Amino acid sequence: MKSLVKNLLKVGFVALVFWWLAKKNLISLAACIEGLKNWPAVLGGAIAVVATAFIAAFRWNLLLGAQEIRLATPRLLQLQFVGNFFNIALPGAVSGDFVKAFYIAHEYPGARSKAFGSILFDRILGLSALVMVSLTALLVGLQHFIGSPVLAGVKAFVMIAGLCVIVFYGYLFLVREHHDPLLKLGQRLEAAGGRFGATFGAIVRIYLGIRVYHSERKLVMKALGLSAAIHLLAGFACLCFASALGESQIPANGLFVVAPLGLLATAIPVLPGGVGTGHAAFSFFFNLLGSKHGADIFSYYVLTQLLIGAGGGFVYLRFKAQSPDVLRDMETAAG
């Protein structure tokens, strides 16, 4: 009962935020309703967003395989959608990751660090592909990001982020475990003990879970390809939503630069689905492209995500009936 009340309060608060955004003219309910008349474009965008959830599940399955953790496809999809449910039940876009890792740790005793390693690397892959999609679109349409200090700042941020991605994978693939200075530092801090010795030990074990992918270059490239497909589909969805709103003047390559940056803001744990933070980010970035409907585009996107999460809630109820002990421990740990 307590959990139900908490979730109802969250739903009510999200609805209140949408009302406040509309009242302050930060989103246009009239434009969103009018956009539904172009339902093929809205439906196309929604299908693209749903497809990203399935691709993300199979990307994670690749990473679990490298950790010698095997999940049947039904269980894999079940966990994916339970994770999506927790992404809207808890603030931020990473809450569901905790739930998935927690389940793996119960299913495979002694594999907690491997589970968290796969989850963390899954997030790194997603972030890496986000940056590379944005960088590629930027290089193709560089002319759209010349003319103001803000545009120059966006361009510099994306290019620096792209360089960081290249450095990260260079370090992962080229530095062997017995020569890894970060690993040695972590092990020394763990050995020193003290107040944070156990914490450093946990970090080292998770880091070793990431280092597993040093020898899995082909697998990592496949997973990066899937990650790129996810962000291309997300960009395509935003393009469809923009079209439904009559924003056909937005340059496609410009959209593929700013949409990933806007989605990055949804990871900030404020409200479920990135409501509020995502609206602000999309409004800012799309305004750079001459669009006043950035927040409305995100409204379509986040409502689709919320519907996916709601569907995951039904999966969660069935999952809870099958594994009540695991889910009870998850809920307790998640607060």
At 23, give phi and psi (nearest 5°): -65, -35
| Confidence category of residue 93, pLDDT binned at 50, 70, 90 | very low
What is this structure's pTM? 0.84
Number of domains observed in the structure of the chain? 1
Torsion angle (degrees, nearest 10) of CA 158, 164, 166, 170: 180
CB neighbourhood size of 285 (10 A): 23
Taking Cα atoms as reference points, which of 41, 76, 86 lies closest to residue 316? 86
| Confidence category of residue 132, pLDDT binned at 50, 70, 90 | very high
Residue 285 has pLDDT above 80, yes or no: yes
- Rg (the chain; Cα; Å): 21
Identify the domain containing residue 195 by its residue range.
2-334
Taking Cα atoms as reference points, which of 270, 243, 322, 256 lies closest to residue 40? 243
- CA-to-CA distance for 243 and 239, rounded, in angstroms? 6
Q: What is the pLDDT of residue 10?
A: 56
For the chain, the average pLDDT equals 82
pLDDT in tens, 34-73: 888 999 999 999 999 999 999 999 999 999 988 888 888 8
Residue 168 has pLDDT above 90, yes or no: yes
Looking at residues 308-331, what average pLDDT do you find?
73
Residue 266 and residue 301 in contact, taking contact as beta carbons nearer than 8 Å: no
pLDDT in tens, 111-123: 777 788 888 899 8
Residue 218 and residue 282 in contact, taking contact as beta carbons nearer than 8 Å: no
